[in-house]
Amino acid sequence: MGTQASTAAGTTEHPRGWFKRNWKWFVPTLILAPLVIGAISLGGYVLLRASKYKASEPYKMALSEVLLNKEVADRLGAPVVDGWNPSGNLPTDSQSGTARFNFNIFGPQGQADVATSARLVDGEWGITNLEITFADGTRRSLMGGIRQRQVGGMPKFNPNAKQPSTSDPAIPPPPTTVDIPEVGIPKLPPGVE
């Protein structure tokens, strides 16, 4: 009978279409697929950003200072490890700029938050602020230990130093000549101004 099926009562029943047969899995998939893709994309972005921050020189400097501090080891226990998701900013210029980071550290006896600032002058990073806040709210600056380690032959980092100029005024730019051809301006029709 072609596309129609007969029933015992004598009425004809049309075959169901693809959507009517498959809507129970298709509609949830249509809704969940963008959510899953969005969650995976967001997770990838966060991990990529965290790995970029953790690989940076100012982050490594701040973390090593925190790990060297005796009070941190006493209060948090050993081993002390850093969290997986630091936040902050990094300059894109490789010769100058300021980086600011916040990250967590964990030990067997507790956790603490670390806030740090670092400045890049002439391609060299230096920590300008390093502060740790323990879980009980106690804040400690770790800058004293950094200043004590800056000795003898190592130049002392000056966070207030003037940034180097990116252009050298001693070398003037070469003269530039531009030949601009004369262009005739067309006349407008009468009555148009």
Q: What distance, in Å, lies between the first and last C-alpha atoms of the chain?
A: 78
> In this structure, are 60 and 47 located in the same domain?
no
Secondary structure (3-state) at 39: helix
> In this structure, are 30 and 87 located in the same domain?
no
Residues contacting 6, CB < 8 A, separation 6+: 12, 13
Range of the domain at 145: 56-149
User: 100, 130, 129, 90: which is closest to 112 by C-alpha?
Assistant: 130
For the chain (length 193 residues), average pLDDT per consecutive 10? 53 79 88 91 84 82 86 86 82 74 88 88 82 89 71 54 58 74 75 72
> In this structure, are 77 and 25 located in the same domain?
no
110: left (phi over 0), alpha (psi -120 to 50) or beta: left
| pLDDT for res 160 | 66
110 within domain boundaries: yes
65 within domain boundaries: yes
> In this structure, are 92 and 123 located in the same domain?
yes
28 within domain boundaries: yes
Is the pTM value of this prediction over 0.75? Answer: no
CA distance 53 to 146: 21
Q: How many structural domains compose the chain?
A: 2
Measured on CA atoms in the order 108, 59, 161, 152, is the torsion positive or negative? Answer: positive
What is the DSSP pairing of strand 81-82 with strand 87-89? unpaired
| pLDDT for res 154 | 47
